[in-house]
């Protein structure tokens, strides 16, 4: 006799839980962007690249690709201003550093939130990075949105303050 009633309330309970879960997901999605990207521009027309950011449960996933670049190691960082004015891209300012920490390379902690370190460019002029960036997000004070990515002519030595002595700015892209 009581069985059908139990089923009904169980079904209603599940439906309610489902609706709540959906509402929570919708709210979370509305609060913060899940993706951002930057397209690199350079006065050297051979140089191009892109950086994609995805907010995941474990942190901020970064995938960077460059091409047309001199083989070797090149410093690459998030810089504090979302302004890329060629040819020197000084408009991008210093490294994105919301935590007011010293410059370093992954996995050294602390370091600037914008410190990617280096991207290794192969003989074909192409470089690829795929990693999780600790200390940066797509919302709040540590958000990289509205900042810029700068690719340098030289190698980041991961030691020299405040920017690793990685030389001229080869390419720049605003993160949107
Ligand atoms: Cu830089
Ligand atoms: Zn730095």
pLDDT tens across 112-123, in order? 999 999 999 999
Predicted model pTM: 0.83
Contacts of residue 55, Cβ cutoff 8 Å, sequence gap at least 6 = 32, 33, 34, 35, 61, 137, 138, 139
Distance 159 CA to ligand 2 centre (A): 9
**Which of the four pLDDT bands, split at 50, 70 and 90, describes residue 32?**
confident
pLDDT tens across 156-172, in order? 999 999 999 999 999 99
The set of catalytic residues is: 77, 79, 95, 103, 112, 115, 152, 169
Structure token digits, residue 110:
């602390």
Q: Using an 8 Å Cβ cutoff, are 80 and 89 in contact?
A: no
Its sign, for the CA torsion 65, 68, 73, 77, is negative
Distance 64 CA to ligand 1 centre (A): 14
CA–CA distances in Å: residue 79 to residues 15, 27, 39, 82, 126: 47, 30, 14, 8, 22
Average pLDDT over residues 140-148: 97
């Amino acid at each position: 006799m009581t069985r059908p009633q139990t089923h009904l309330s169980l079904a209603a309970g599940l439906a309610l839980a489902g609706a709540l879960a959906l509402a929570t997901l919708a709210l979370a999605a509305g609060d913060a962007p899940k993706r951002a990207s930057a397209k690199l521009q350079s006065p050297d027309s051979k140089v191009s690249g892109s950086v994609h950011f995805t907010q995941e449960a474990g942190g901020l996933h970064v995938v960077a690709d460059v091409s047309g670049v001199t083989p070797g190691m090149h410093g690459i960082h998030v810089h504090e201003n979302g302004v890329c004015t060629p040819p020197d891209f000084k408009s991008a300012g210093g490294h994105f550093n919301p935590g007011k920490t010293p410059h370093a390379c992954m996995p050294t902690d602390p370091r600037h939130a914008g410190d990617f370190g280096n991207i290794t460019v192969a003989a074909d002029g192409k470089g690829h990075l795929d990693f999780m960036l600790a200390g940066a997000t797509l919302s709040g004070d540590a958000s990289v949105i509205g900042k810029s990515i700068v690719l340098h002519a030289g190698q980041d030595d991961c030691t020299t303050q405040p920017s690793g002595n990685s030389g001229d700015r080869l390419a720049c892209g605003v993160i949107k």
